[in-house]
Amino acid sequence: MSEGETIIIKGGRVVDPGQNLDMTADVVLADGVVKGIYGRRRTRESGTVIDATGLVVSPGFIDLHCHLREPGFEYKETIASGTLAAARGGFTAVCAMPNTNPVMDSRAGVDFVLERARSEGFVKVMAIGAVTRGSLGKQLSDMGELAQAGVVGFSDDGHPVSDDNLMRQALSYSTSLGLPIINHCEALDLSDGGDMNEGWVSNRLGLKGISNSAEEAMVARDILLAETTGGRLHIAHASTAGTVEMVRRAKERGLSVTCEATPHHLTLGHEAVLGHRGDGGQFSPLTLAAYETNAKVAPPLRSQEDVGALVRGLADGTVDFIATDHAPHATTEKVSTFSEAVNGISVLETALGSLMTLVHEGNLPLPVLIERLTAAPANFLGVGLGSLKTGGPADVTIFDPNAEWVVDSTKFVSKGKNTPLDGAKLKGRVVATIVGGAVRYDARESGSAG
């Protein structure tokens, strides 16, 4: 279906937190924008009708943290396959992290990705530029040039900005550009050699652990530097209760500190490395499913206390929004011992399903979940996305909040099949994703994109 066409999404539960809407209504899209949301009035437009009875209609999800791997690691993912996966997951816009090869630390790198996305991408793609050249942590990249190329923020993700002084300079310099520094907070001296969260599971498995303090030590540092410089600090993939608490206090003091959490950190704990899904106590014998490499991720999956704190933080807004940190890898890179395996989970296609667990278990109201996937990241980026207001871009996600399905990673459109949720039963599934008025994913056509 082409962009200019008229689409009438009929009878769904329209939830648009940006406009404080939660009602049964029809949504009409035309010429690539939202024409209007109609409650009782019968629409007179003619066009393609999508029957959304029993479904939720929301603004398209926005993912601020996504690894598309192209250029340089096309064997793991390409912009095409990654954005197709995004569409399948209900995301209409993603931000591409710069740890490609070469790293996106120059205008040329950014232009390549954005151009590629325009010609081959299925959803909107924004770029995040590297903080330092090559993300080597030694010298700032030409952040001004990157800003002019259109990046929405800076990150060396995959690596922390370890040098205290360089982080301070980055935050300071970024104030002239009004763009955030997104830091992967990990004190490398503390995390060195560690493979998973430090706790009873790592002890059980005989693996070296990464303690919460490895993240929190750098979060503390970054918050202090943000205060000193006035820069915008954003904590990538927060994983610990301590991080949430520090961000909460920083916000109370009025500092420009925000953070995000991933679907996996919000729903899975370090028990996932044991392979069985939560059954069996602390001292159950290990099964052959133990040392689950698909649960190996940076930062690691943490304790149930940390997961609980993140969920509460998401509910009360301390955790500003959800970002997937979609990290696809080739299967061979995960078929290995735990220590040999690379970090990363392929998230886009299971994000909604796993996040809906929080809604179904009563820990997060549905409109709040949608807000954290749409309006909140949009506000952070300062782009006019994330809502269904009239005249705005026709980026819409239609999903069934109650559809039960079993995750089958072989059916992923992402090249990355690395998920600890393979075989898991989830409740909540994307039915259709519309980007700029064009249907990019339609589950009823077995996932074909427009």
Tell me the C-alpha to C-alpha distance, in Å, between residue 196 and each of 97, 208, 273. Answer: 23, 7, 8
Tell me the C-alpha to C-alpha distance, in Å, between residue 28 and each of 13, 286, 315, 388, 444. Answer: 14, 54, 31, 10, 20
Mark the segment that binds another protein (CB under 8 A) among 118-126, 281-289, 313-321, 421-429: 281-289
Cβ closest to another protein, residue 107 vs residue 208? 208
Q: Which residues from 116-135 bind another protein, rule CB under 8 A?
A: none
Q: Which of 9, 109, 97 is nearest to 60 (CA)?
A: 9
Verify binding: residue 199, another protein, rule CB under 8 A: yes
Size of the residue set binding another protein (CB under 8 A): 25
Q: Which of 46, 332, 410, 446 contacts another protein by CB under 8 A?
A: 332
Annotate 86-99 with b (16+ C-beta within 10 A) or e (fewer).
bbbbbbbbbbbbbb
Number of C-beta neighbours around residue 446 at 10 A: 7
Q: What token pair was written down for 13?
A: 């539960």
Compute φ and ψ for 446, nearest 5 degrees.
Answer: 55, 45
Verify binding: residue 337, another protein, rule CB under 8 A: yes
Cβ closest to another protein, residue 148 vs residue 203? 203
**DSSP-assigned letters across all residues of 127-165:** E-B-SBGGG-SSSB--HHHHHHHT-S-EE-TTS----HH
As to burial, measured by CB atoms within 10 angstroms (0-12 exposed, 13-18 middle, 19+ buried), residue 422 is: middle
The CB-of-339 to another protein minimum distance in angstroms stands at 4
The CB-of-305 to another protein minimum distance in angstroms stands at 10
Q: Which of 42, 53, 206, 391 contacts another protein by CB under 8 A?
A: 206
Q: Which of 341, 337, 340, 342 is nearest to 327 (CA)?
A: 342
- 119 vs 125: CA distance, rounded Å: 11
Verify binding: residue 173, another protein, rule CB under 8 A: no
Verify binding: residue 217, another protein, rule CB under 8 A: no
**Residue 210 is inside which H or E element, if any?**
strand 209-210
Q: Which of 20, 41, 42, 283 contacts another protein by CB under 8 A?
A: 283
Verify binding: residue 285, another protein, rule CB under 8 A: yes
Verify binding: residue 254, another protein, rule CB under 8 A: no
The CB-of-189 to another protein minimum distance in angstroms stands at 10
Q: Which of 282, 362, 391, 410 contacts another protein by CB under 8 A?
A: 282
The CB-of-274 to another protein minimum distance in angstroms stands at 11
**Residue 119 is inside which H or E element, if any?**
helix 107-120
Spatial contact of 66 and 100, defined as CB atoms under 8 Å apart: no
Verify binding: residue 281, another protein, rule CB under 8 A: yes
Cβ closest to another protein, residue 192 vs residue 316? 192
Q: Which of 154, 338, 399, 412 contacts another protein by CB under 8 A?
A: 338
Q: Which residues contact 414 (CB under 8 A, 6 or more apart)?
A: 77, 81, 82, 84, 85, 326, 328, 346, 348, 349
Residue 325 annotated in active site? yes
The CB-of-206 to another protein minimum distance in angstroms stands at 3
Q: Which of 90, 153, 194, 209 contacts another protein by CB under 8 A?
A: 209
The CB-of-238 to another protein minimum distance in angstroms stands at 22
CA angle in degrees (0–180, nearest 5) for 136-140-142:
120
Q: Which residues contact 142 (CB under 8 A, 6 or more apart)?
A: 105, 106, 107
Q: What token pair was written down for 271?
A: 């028990």
DSSP tag of 362: T
The CB-of-330 to another protein minimum distance in angstroms stands at 12
Q: Which of 117, 205, 323, 385 contacts another protein by CB under 8 A?
A: 205
Q: Which of 291, 321, 380, 399 contacts another protein by CB under 8 A?
A: 291
The CB-of-271 to another protein minimum distance in angstroms stands at 13
Cβ closest to another protein, residue 173 vs residue 338? 338
- Which residues participate in catalysis according to the annotation? 325
Contact residues for another protein (CB under 8 A)? 198-200, 203, 205-209, 211, 281-283, 285-286, 288, 290-291, 332, 335-340
